[in-house]
Amino acid sequence: MVSRGGNFELGFFTPGNPHKYYLGIWYKKVSKQTVVWVANRERPVFNTSSLELKLSEDGNLILVTHSENIIWSSNSMFTASNLGIAVLHDDGNLVIKDDSTSHVSWQSFDHPTNTWLPGAKLGYDKFSKENRFLTSWRNSEDPSPGLFSAEVNRNGIFHFFLVINRNRPYWPSGIEDMLLFGSAPDIEKFYSFDYVTDVNTSYSTYFVHDSSVISNYMLDFTGQMKWRV
């Protein structure tokens, strides 16, 4: 599946072991495959010919074998009607929505892996009970959850945790400090950051001034937040 403008592609990839396949999203126009989201990061598959990605009767997007063994599911609490469709947008967001009303029942932006894309929100949604945060890969060739996570607290401040001990942040940082991660003093020329809080949600997001610029923030397997351009 390719987004309408050709910016992103959804498909199977093998980051290291050629026999382990993952369903993911990557940049279509970047020569070096740069994965920004992984569905079955904890459950790789070994034979893609027996798999099917489809919408289930309850409106969830599922990856299943021919024997109907579910490998991965969107597990949405708010499922679409029987008119539900799955669409990959040009911002890298995979969504399930009602084709007649355009109501979104699930989106990959609410379930990030190790990458924060422009327009995506990190933070807590009190209505859906979703806490959107990043979790590193285990290593450069294994997208399963690694040792580090990054999340935005209710004051709009980033906190970085060892997954094995979430009570102790290893690198607390404000948004202003985070702008230095990429060693780019002029980063505000490229990005606009925003923090929103109300009775239903509190989150941070950012936007790229020039839509032709391909970039994102990535929490790598060493625990460092990197600005990728």
pLDDT tens, position by position, 38-86: 999 999 999 898 899 999 988 899 999 988 899 999 988 665 555 689 9
Q: Which residues contact 23 (CB under 8 A, 6 or more apart)?
A: 10, 11, 12, 38, 39, 40, 53, 63, 72
CATH architecture of residue range(s) 112-229: Orthogonal Prism (2.90)
pLDDT for 215 equals: 86
Please give the distance of CA 2 from its chain centroid, rounded to a whole number.
16
Round to whole Å and give the CA distance between 91 and 6. Answer: 10
List pLDDT tens digits, range 144-197: 999 888 888 766 666 777 766 666 666 645 444 444 444 445 666 777 888 888
Q: How far apart are alpha carbons 41 and 37 in whole angstroms? A: 9
Q: Percent of the chain scored above 90 by pLDDT?
A: 46
Which top CATH class is 1-110? mainly beta
Q: Where are the extended beta strands (E) located within the chain?
A: 8-13, 22-27, 35-38, 51-55, 61-65, 70-73, 84-88, 94-98, 104-107, 115-116, 122-125, 130-132, 134-139, 142-152, 158-162, 165-169, 191-197, 201-208, 216-219, 225-228
User: Where are the domain boundaries for CATH 2.90.10.10 in the chain?
Assistant: 1-110
Q: Tell me which of 16 and 184 has the higher pLDDT.
A: 16
Give residue for tokens 């409106």: 59
Cβ-contact 205, 191 below 8 angstroms? no
Instruction: Determine the Cα–Cα distance for residues 108 and 42; give it in Å rounded to an integer.
Output: 16
> What is the model's pLDDT at position 110?
93
pLDDT average, residue stretch 98-115: 89
CB 93 within 8 A of CB 120: yes
What integer is the mean pLDDT of 197-223? 86
Percent of the chain with pLDDT over 70: 83
Residue 229, both tokens? 């351009």
**pLDDT of res. 189:** 72
Identify the pLDDT of residue 7. Answer: 95
**pLDDT above 80 for 126:** no
CA distance 12 to 207: 28
Written as one letter, the residue type at 184 is: A
Q: Are 134 and 150 in contact (CB under 8 A)?
A: yes
Mean pLDDT value of segment 205-221:
87
Adjacent-strand bridge partners of 137: 145
Task: Please state, in angstroms and rounded to a whole number, the distance separating the CA atoms of residues 127 and 117.
Answer: 22
